[in-house]
Amino acid sequence: MLNHHHESCPAEDLELCVLSDHEWRVADRRQDEQSPEKALGYINHSGSTFEVLNIEAPRRHLTFGQFHTAVASFAVASNR
């Protein structure tokens, strides 16, 4: 089930918050800190992979080999 209240987030508006030495919260910098729309998901570094939990698709398990590609998975593709 998708959360249709989230707007698409361009890459330049992604914000990372370090939660620990292996976890990050990915957020939309355009949203107020108290807004539930602020958090887009989480990245967890486990072994040699980066596991993504995207709030828009919580049942979809995504893994990436590089941190920057895990972060980029939260951004909407621009057609400009």
| Sequence-distant (≥ 6) Cβ neighbours of residue 4 within 8 angstroms | none
Residue with tokens 């621009």: 78
CA 34/CA 57 separation, integer angstroms:
22
Could you tell me the pLDDT band of residue 6, with boundaries at 50, 70 and 90?
low
Say how many C-beta atoms besides its own lie within 10 A of residue 6's C-beta.
16
What pLDDT, in 10s, does the model give residues 12-40? 999 999 999 999 999 999 999 999 899 99
Beta bridge partners of 26: 16, 41
Residue 41, sorted as left (phi over 0), alpha (psi -120 to 50) or beta, turns out to be left
Could you tell me the pLDDT band of residue 60, with boundaries at 50, 70 and 90?
confident
